[in-house]
């Protein structure tokens, strides 16, 4: 018996197991148990020191490459300014990483903040108030409306007790609690004889024995999952790490070849050849890439923030663009988290909520009278969501229920009971008669009804009437609607003993009211757009199967009748991880799930190589939000725990904002790709130029030339490419997925041939300069040639920046000048390059000569030729190879 969970055992057995009585623990026993079990608080891993977090940031492979580049630039090449810039970039990334790493601890702290500060506990036979941190297993806890449950409890008394558990289970309606044993295995949402830590009592009162405290509670279980969940490496981080490794290998191989060949040719001494190899390595390393990526992501987050998507972690921007699965919580995310009347049934017919209710029907009166909703001065309705929905519906249709209640005051009531599933109130009509207003479960209401009101006329209730009412109830229930029946009776006096037997008899049936937590009106369109973008939306909810299926059909997540696409948490428990991994693509809707199910679902899709985004708002969503490639929390209804575990927060809780964010993420990735294409093709052009100059035996560009070109042509244009406008058709493309990279989709090929073209054009200008010299002196001729090669290599990169505005689209079909930041970047970079040649005093510093008009024309011609050749290749790709733009 002791091995069974508490909800499967009777109250006496649980009390015996906890070694407690109805009088509670003694003060001494409570202290002993506090020493044994520890405080009733959530624990987290030991925090890393600030220094430890900072040092961890330098384990990244690309960061190591940058540190080597800084060492080379400073110690070997003596370009300390460049070395300082590189080190500044590294330190900036490290500081940013330290800041972001704290989010898991913040999530745990948010969980701790949700717990109740105090608890009403029975000790030594008396009720005392103690800090919730001092609650221990075996304590007897008293619960009343407004309380936060301080620990996990097995209920031993329940008087109309209702507890709102949406943050834990995802259900939008408070749960009616009872004390009976549940014989079968049940999920959290079905354990109606339990109360869980950090949930809220909304109605009634209860008594429970503590069965778990701190990390032994359901919230503690979530905290443990959250604390132990590993961080997923984003596609951006994986791509950059892969790119860094590939570049390093390439750099080392080429530098070694240049060094060995140079020594073998005997044209240079070992020191000079070593300096040449180092210069080539500096040319090849895109040292500004991490900073440029960070800046592009930051600019993307600023724009997204204006669209109500608040990004907490920069790589999440790019991850959105590669998302293939959006696993969305239902309540508050896909739906409005607000019960709303959708249909009514009276006079033998169904009526939409917009139609209102006929004047001769008592429906509005009954739903407003048999109701405990309170209205604030500002019009806000407080109470059970179902009851507030009824009052809101009555007010919407001009029924002044407050005025009616003043004229027809409540004089007695029979409160709702979960066994009989009815509630009745008695009102003084002022004419010596009294109105009994009753609402509740339709089948139970019909059991105590003998008449029916149709078109204002009361007649006997027939079997045909009963069949029609029950058939309509079933029809509405299959649409995931919560149905309540309304009935009344006119009596001459209030019973002496007001109880169900004396009040709820011979009632007159008035009608049915069907409610639902409705879907957000914009979500269906967003779901359709996501599907067109190749993204598969999933619904994950704590609600019942029928509700989940009906809502998902209404949203277009599944097609009507697609029952096989729906699975419950209990069914999921019966499937092994291996079988689930093989069948996960069969399911789009997950109902009645627990927190560990959500993590399992996310992990299963990730096991299929998919990039998964998880949306949610509750505590129960936090582990899955952290496990997902990108966790998206709701900003309005979301708990602080969910926000702390997320990568992005929706300020407006609007599902369509996610689609906008995906579009922004795709744009950011496309722009990062453009920057990388620009940087790597430029660097390849530099490497080829130096390599071929060494192989041919020409004078080679000095380290100062390469470093200055990198400084003025890499940074500003690359950043400006990061704010290019969105290309058309970006949301009609399939997601890139986890295995794609910055070099896929033809980008890698473009980098290679365009880099080779840059190098070839630069070498061509050098060859022209020495073949058709302006000066007769050999030294002057080679000085001019080197200067022209230097200017060409820099200027040609600026021309090429226009090419990479689109991978395959023609430059002449675009709005070339619509990016003001890009225009300024090109202008400033060109000016900085020209200054080193045309401004007196810089010539000696940069080892260059002054060029004449013809020489400048040759340099400019190479830049124009760069654009023309690329345009011809793009034309061939579009027309012959049928490459889509």
Task: Tell me the pLDDT tens digit for each residue of 234-255.
Answer: 556 666 667 767 776 777 787 7
CB neighbours of residue 425 within 10 Å: 22
Contact 862, 798 (CB under 8 A): no
Whether pLDDT at 122 is above 90: yes
Please choose, from the candidates 313, 305, 318, 286, the residue with its C-alpha nearest in 3D space to the C-alpha of residue 717.
Answer: 286
CATH number of 235-293+673-879: 1.20.1110.10
Please choose, from the candidates 185, 86, 23, the residue with its C-alpha nearest in 3D space to the C-alpha of residue 573.
Answer: 185
Average of per-residue pLDDT across 201-207: 85
Query: Please, which pLDDT band fits residue 193 given cuts at 50, 70 and 90?
Result: very high
Dist. CA 375–CA 764, nearest whole Å: 83
Express as a percent the part of the chain with pLDDT over 90.
40
CB neighbours of residue 272 within 10 Å: 12
Whether pLDDT at 643 is above 80: no
Average of per-residue pLDDT across 223-240: 62
Q: Could you tell me the end-to-end alpha-carbon distance of the chain, in angstroms, rounded to an integer?
A: 67
Contacting residues for 823 by C-beta, under 8 A, at least 6 apart: 817
Query: Please, which pLDDT band fits residue 391 given cuts at 50, 70 and 90?
Result: very high
pLDDT of residue 105: 46
pLDDT of residue 99: 56
Average of per-residue pLDDT across 678-698: 86
Query: Which fold would CATH assign to domain 340-516?
Result: Calcium-transporting ATPase, cytoplasmic domain N (3.40.1110)
pLDDT of residue 101: 47
3-state secondary structure of 484: strand
Dist. CA 494–CA 427, nearest whole Å: 9
Whether pLDDT at 278 is above 80: no
- Token output for 477: 């229930």
pLDDT of residue 722: 84
Name the region of 609 (left: φ>0; alpha: ψ -120 to 50; beta: rest).
left
Whether pLDDT at 91 is above 80: no
More confident residue, 109 or 87: 87
pLDDT of residue 20: 93
Q: Lowest mean pLDDT: which of 50-54, 231-235, 410-414, 731-735?
A: 231-235
3-state secondary structure of 703: helix
Q: Which CA distances in Å does 334 have to 541, 633, 640? A: 10, 13, 19
The pTM of the whole model exceeds 0.75: no
Dist. CA 597–CA 613, nearest whole Å: 16
Q: Which CA distances in Å does 201 have to 24, 118, 813? A: 21, 14, 63
Dist. CA 211–CA 115, nearest whole Å: 16
Residues with a known catalytic role: 329
Dist. CA 326–CA 539, nearest whole Å: 8
3-state secondary structure of 303: helix
Query: Which fold would CATH assign to domain 6-44+120-214?
Result: 2.70.150
Average of per-residue pLDDT across 681-710: 82
Average of per-residue pLDDT across 493-502: 92
Query: Please, which pLDDT band fits residue 228 given cuts at 50, 70 and 90?
Result: low
pLDDT of residue 220: 82
More confident residue, 437 or 478: 437
Dist. CA 381–CA 373, nearest whole Å: 7
pLDDT of residue 82: 56
Query: Please, which pLDDT band fits residue 375 given cuts at 50, 70 and 90?
Result: confident
pLDDT of residue 425: 96
């Amino acid at each position: 018996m002791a091995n069974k969970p508490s909800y499967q055992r009777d109250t006496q057995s649980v009390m015996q197991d906890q070694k407690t009585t109805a009088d509670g623990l003694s003060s001494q026993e409570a202290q002993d148990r506090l020493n044994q079990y520890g405080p009733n608080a959530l624990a987290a891993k030991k925090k890393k020191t600030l220094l430890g977090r900072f040092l961890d940031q330098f384990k990244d492979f690309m960061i190591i490459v940058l540190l080597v580049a800084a060492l080379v630039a400073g110690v070997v090449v003596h370009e300390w300014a460049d070395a300082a810039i590189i080190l500044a970039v590294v330190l900036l990334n490290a500081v940013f990483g330290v800041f972001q790493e704290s989010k898991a601890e913040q999530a745990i702290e948010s969980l701790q903040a949700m717990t109740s500060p105090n608890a009403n506990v029975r000790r030594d036979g008396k009720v005392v108030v103690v800090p919730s941190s001092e609650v221990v297993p075996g304590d007897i806890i008293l619960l009343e409306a407004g309380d936060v449950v301080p620990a996990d409890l097995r209920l031993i008394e329940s008087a109309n007790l209702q507890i709102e558990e949406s943050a834990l289970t995802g259900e939008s309606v408070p749960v009616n609690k009872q004390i009976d044993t549940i014989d079968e295995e049940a999920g959290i949402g079905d354990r109606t004889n339990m109360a869980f830590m950090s949930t809220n009592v909304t109605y009634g009162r209860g008594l429970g024995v503590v069965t778990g405290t701190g990390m032994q509670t359901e919230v503690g279980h979530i905290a443990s999952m959250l604390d132990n969940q590993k961080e997923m490496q984003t596609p951006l981080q994986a791509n950059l790490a892969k790119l860094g490794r590939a570049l390093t290998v390439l750099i080392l191989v080429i530098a070694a070849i240049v060094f060995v060949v140079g020594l073998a040719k005997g044209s240079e001494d070992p020191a000079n050849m070593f300096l040449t190899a180092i210069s080539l390595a500096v040319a090849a390393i895109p040292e500004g890439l991490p900073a440029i990526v960070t800046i592009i992501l930051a600019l993307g987050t600023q724009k997204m923030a204006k669209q109500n998507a608040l990004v907490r972690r920069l790589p999440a921007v790019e991850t959105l663009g590669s998302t293939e699965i959006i696993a969305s919580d239902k309540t508050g995310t896909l739906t409005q988290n607000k019960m709303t009347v959708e249909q009514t049934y009276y006079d033998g017919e169904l009526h939409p909520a917009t139609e209102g209710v006929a004047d001769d029907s008592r429906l509005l009166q009954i739903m407003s009278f048999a109701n405990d909703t309170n209205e604030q001065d500002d019009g806000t309705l407080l109470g059970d969501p179902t009851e507030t929905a009824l009052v809101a519906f009555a007010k919407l249709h001009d029924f002044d229920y407050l005025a009616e209640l003043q004229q027809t005051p409540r004089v007695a009531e029979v409160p709702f009971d979960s066994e009989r599933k009815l509630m009745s109130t008695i009102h003084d009509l002022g004419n010596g008669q009294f109105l009994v207003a009753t609402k509740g479960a339709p089948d139970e209401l019909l059991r105590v009804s003998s008449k029916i009101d149709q078109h204002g006329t009361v007649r006997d209730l027939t079997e045909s009437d009963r069949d029609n009412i029950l058939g309509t109830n079933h029809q509405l229930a299959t649409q995931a609607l919560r149905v309540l029946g309304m009935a009344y009776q006119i009596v001459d006096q209030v019973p002496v003993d007001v109880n169900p037997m004396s009040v709820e008899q011979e009632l007159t049936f008035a009608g049915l009211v069907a409610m639902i937590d409705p879907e957000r009106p914009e979500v269906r369109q967003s779901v359709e757009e996501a599907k067109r973008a190749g993204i598969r939306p999933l619904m994950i909810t704590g609600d019942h199967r029928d509700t989940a299926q009906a809502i998902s059909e209404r949203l277009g997540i599944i097609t009507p009748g697609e029952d096989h696409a729906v699975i419950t948490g209990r069914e999921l428990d019966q499937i092994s991880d291996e079988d689930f991994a093989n069948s996960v693509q069969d399911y789009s809707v997950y109902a009645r799930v627990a927190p560990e199910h959500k993590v399992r679902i996310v992990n299963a899709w990730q096991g299929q190589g998919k990039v998964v985004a998880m949306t949610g708002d509750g505590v129960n969503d936090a582990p899955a939000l952290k496990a997902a490639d990108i966790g998206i929390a709701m900003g309005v209804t979301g708990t602080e725990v969910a926000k702390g575990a997320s990568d992005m927060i929706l300020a407006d809780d609007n599902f369509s904002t996610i689609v906008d964010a995906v579009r922004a993420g795709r744009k950011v990735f496309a722009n990062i790709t453009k920057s990388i294409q620009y940087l790597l093709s430029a660097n390849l052009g530099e490497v080829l130029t130096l390599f071929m100059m060494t192989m041919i035996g020409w004078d080679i560009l000095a380290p100062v030339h390469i470093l200055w070109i990198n400084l003025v042509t890499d940074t500003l244009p690359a950043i400006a490419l990061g704010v290019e406008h969105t290309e058309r058709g970006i949301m009609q493309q399939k997601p890139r997925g986890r295995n794609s990279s910055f070099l896929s989709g033809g980008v890698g090929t473009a980098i290679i041939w365009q880099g080779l073209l840059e190098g070839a054009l630069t070498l061509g200008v050098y060859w022209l300069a020495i073949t058709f010299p302006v000066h007769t002196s050999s030294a002057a001729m080679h000085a001019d040639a080197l200067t022209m090669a230097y200017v060409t290599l820099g200027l040609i990169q600026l021309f090429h920046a226009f090419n990479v505005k689109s991978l395959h689209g023609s430059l002449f079909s675009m709005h070339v000048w619509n990016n003001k930041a890009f225009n300024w970047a090109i202008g400033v970079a060109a000016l900085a390059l020209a200054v080193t040649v045309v401004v007196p005093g810089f010539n000696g510093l940069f080892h260059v000569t002054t060029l004449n008009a013809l020489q400048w024309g040759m340099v400019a011609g190479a830049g124009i030729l760069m654009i023309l050749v690329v345009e011809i290749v793009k034309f061939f790709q579009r027309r012959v190879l049928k490459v889509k733009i």
